[in-house]
Amino acid sequence: MNLDKNFFKENLKVIIYALIIAIFIRSIFFQPFYIPSSSMEPTLLVGDRLFVSKYSYGYSKHSFPFSPKIFNKRLFFKKPKRGDVIVFKTPADNRTDYIKRLIGLPGDKLQILNGDLYINNNLVNKIKTKISLNITCGEEVISANTFEEKLSNGKKHFTAYRKIGTMKNSDIFIVPEDHYFFMGDNRDCSKDSRFLSSVGYVNFENIVGKAELIFFSNNKKNGSLWTFWKWGKSIRFNRILKKIK
């Protein structure tokens, strides 16, 4: 009987220690995330699983599970760079995780004119690629052109724009102090900072971390992890351990 009690206690200790270590790693170093939507295509695909570094921009209450109110300011804060792909808590509820690309810094003025993005009255250079994609937007499949965009700091990334019905013009956005402006790479299918009532400008305290690496990717339409005989079609082997740019 004593052996059974000791066995239970020892296993309980192992589980508790494992949970503590997992929470520590998740809060301080890396947290895994799953991509459920197409707002960051072609950079991130539905079914991508990635690691987000927590230390890249310092720590806030949102660095920890359930966002405990243990401090108000960000500790060891480091400024994010324009073009970084970042996970943040949406300002609408301070709970939901969004992943977008950082486009506007505090004080920046942004506007879309005739389909082109301007930051501080400077045109963001974009070069149309030879690749046309059929990308998803909810249940809809849309035909899109892809562009390589180059930001003012030299950061390059790929974006997708609808061939028909792309956003031509927008309001002027001026990013407040201590806030950031985010956009999805799938420019015509992304709820982001352009929508002030639902996302808008993101406070620096809402930043969770920087997307660093895709560690696994699976296309559910072609099979699940349980259907191992379909792995050749469902697992995107070319995306495993791919660095996020």
- Active-site residue, from 37, 39, 193, 234: 39
CA–CA separation, 20 and 18 (whole Å): 5
Specify the DSSP class assigned to residue 235. B
- Active-site residue 100, yes or no? yes
pLDDT at residue number 1: 43
Evaluate if residue 2 carries a pLDDT over 60: no
Q: What is the pLDDT of residues 87-145, one digit of tens each?
A: 999 998 988 999 999 999 999 999 999 999 999 999 999 999 988 788 888 778 889 99
203 - beta bridge partners?
Answer: 179
CA–CA separation, 23 and 14 (whole Å): 14
Evaluate if residue 28 carries a pLDDT over 90: no
Q: Count of H helices and E strands in the chain?
A: 2, 15
The structural domain count of the chain equals 1
In a domain, 19, yes or no: no
Tell me the mean pLDDT in the region 15-31: 72
- Active-site residue, from 89, 100, 190, 210: 100
In a domain, 63, yes or no: yes
- The residue with greater pLDDT, 42 or 138, is 42
Q: What is the pLDDT of residues 152-197, one digit of tens each?
A: 999 999 999 999 888 889 999 999 999 999 999 999 999 999 999 8
Query: Which residue do the tokens 């997992």 mark?
Result: 22
What are the angstrom distances between the C-alpha of 219 and each of 21, 28, 144, 214, 244? Answer: 31, 30, 20, 14, 18
- The residue with greater pLDDT, 68 or 112, is 112
Evaluate if residue 24 carries a pLDDT over 70: no
CATH number of domain containing 102: 2.10.109.10
> What percent of the chain lies above the pLDDT cut of 90?
62
The whole domain housing 164 covers: 31-243
pLDDT at residue number 5: 63
- Active-site residue 39, yes or no? yes
